[in-house]
Amino acid sequence: MPERQLQQQLQDLRDQLAEDPPLNDEDKAALIELMSEIEVQLAREIASEPDASLVDGVNLAVERFEASHPTLAGSLRSILQTLANMGI
């Protein structure tokens, strides 16, 4: 169940990015890379090889976008909570 929730949250984040918020190319690329890392981690979680550095990356992204893009930061916080619920 948490895996499905995480997939939905990632899709919500992709949808937000598709709405074209005023992100520069570097920020957008960083979010896309982070989402890819989360998907890789999800596959590893199924194989029981969690990577704790992923949580640090999501925390950094929350801090990076909190002031300028609060909606994105909120989505990232939800992803962070789901990862924590999964034991990552």
What's residue 22's pLDDT?
79
Matching residue, tokens 């976008």: 65
What's residue 9's pLDDT?
92
Per-residue CA distances from 88 to 23, 47, 55, 83 (Å): 28, 13, 7, 5
- The stretch 67-82 carries a mean pLDDT of 90
pLDDT in tens, 30-71: 999 999 988 887 777 655 666 668 888 899 999 998 988 898
- The stretch 11-20 carries a mean pLDDT of 85
Give the number of domains in the chain: 1
Residue 20's domain comprises: 2-86
Say whether pLDDT at 87 is over 60: yes
Contact 58, 74 (CB under 8 A): no
pTM for this model (two decimals): 0.77
